[in-house]
Amino acid sequence: MNNNQLATKPHYSILDGLRGVAAIIVVTFHLAEPLSTSNLDKLVNHGYLAVDFFFLLSGFVMGFAYDDRWPKMTAGNFFKRRIIRLQPMVVLGMTLGAIGFYFTDSAIWPLIHTTPVWKMLLVMLVGYTILPVPLSLDIRGWEEMHPLNSVGWSLFFEYIANILYAVWIRKFSKMALSILVGIAAIALAHLAITNGDISGGWTLNVPQMRIGFTRTIFPFFAGLLLSRVIKPIPIKNAFLWCSLLLAIILYMPRIGGAEHLWMNGVYETICIIIVFPLIVYLGAGGAIHTQTGNKICKFLGEISYPLYMVHYPLVYFYVAWISNHKGVTLADVWPYALLILIGAIALAYAALKWYDEPVRKWLREKLG
């Protein structure tokens, strides 16, 4: 933990770095996904669990940053802060998705070439609000609640968790919060074990919304509880060990296969309920002792959210290319995948410095 001279609270540099590591793994997951036929044979098989790790980190940081501010802060001020932090990149991600939309025409997205411009622009404008679009506005054909930038679904649930925290759950005692987290853990375990995984949450229908809420409530409020109860202890080389553990979890091949789906569900339950909180605990207690280490964690932390929000508009081009070249293998596509990964990181950094930071600064000055 490093003391930030501009704040009275310590800053968890390692947790910033871990957020960046998870964001990069998400990109690799989305790049490997088009080469699979189902969740059973994905190369980066558990990469989607990075979203659950993000929710846990968000809850932890929320409690750490805001729990003691409420005597002097209104819910309106809280929401203003969150909108300033999150919305600029939401707008950019949807805009990039709109710009590339008609250039990603492919047989797997038959609706693209029949979608009028006005309808695409309407989806973009709704996307700016992060509210999900109904299936009647599915302009791509994947039944996504955000067809211009698929990852927007998790921001929708992030906002819901923020609202629940600000208007209600922030007032919970540790006991009440523990009961909520315990019930949410049972719901998550039931979903994972009966379905075989917890992948989902991006479609505006009842089954997918259930998945989305279940994936959000436990990790977010477990992170909040963690911020209230833990006393971090110093851990040597915490960033290295936590990064390795996170990568092992997310790159782990499918467990149990089609015959024993419950086994994979048990694995994901253990990862989310036990291992992810352990990683956050170890990361919160760790220290970075070198200037290089601090720079790496700072860079990874800064690009993590922009990378998450801008990479999928690039992935759409990559997926369309693969679908138009049937039979390509990993050996064929890895140079293109690497190019997309590097390009996404570069785009994220450019978006951070030339767009996100200036816009957030302007919004803070205007909104106070």
* pTM exceeds 0.75: yes
Q: How confident is the model at residue 232 (pLDDT cuts 50, 70, 90)?
A: confident
Q: Which residues pair with 106 in a beta bridge?
A: 109
Provide, rounded to the nearest whole percent, the portion of the chain with pLDDT above 90.
91
Residue whose pair of structure tokens reads 């092992």 in the numeric block: 248
pLDDT at 4 over 60: no
For the chain, the first-to-last Cα distance in angstroms comes to 29
- Residue 7 above 90 pLDDT? no
Q: Check whether 3 has a pLDDT greater than 60.
A: no
Q: 93: which 2 tokens?
A: 């991600």
What is the mean pLDDT of the segment spanning 45-53?
A: 98
For the stretch 299-350, pLDDT in tens is 999 999 999 999 999 999 999 999 999 889 999 999 999 999 999 999 999 9
Structure tokens at 261: 């789906």
Per-domain boundaries in the chain: 2-367
Model confidence at 35: pLDDT above 80 = yes
CA gap 69, 271 in Å, rounded? 32
Which pLDDT does position 139 carry in this prediction?
Answer: 97
| Sign of the dihedral through C-alpha 200, 205, 207, 211 | positive
The span from the CA of 171 to the CA of 70, in Å, is: 10
d(CA 290, CA 188): 39
The yes-or-no verdict on residue 283 having pLDDT over 90 is yes
pLDDT confidence of residue 1: 46
Q: Which residues have a Cβ under 8 Å from the Cβ of 73 and sit 6 or more positions away? A: 66
Q: Contact, 228 vs 63, CB < 8 A?
A: yes
What pLDDT does 11 receive?
Answer: 82
Query: In this predicted structure, what is the pLDDT of residue 367?
Result: 87
Tell me the mean pLDDT in the region 214-230.
Answer: 97
Per-residue model confidence (pLDDT) at position 2:
47
pLDDT at 111 over 50: yes
The chain-wide mean pLDDT, for the chain, equals 95
- Mean per-residue pLDDT for 30-49? 95
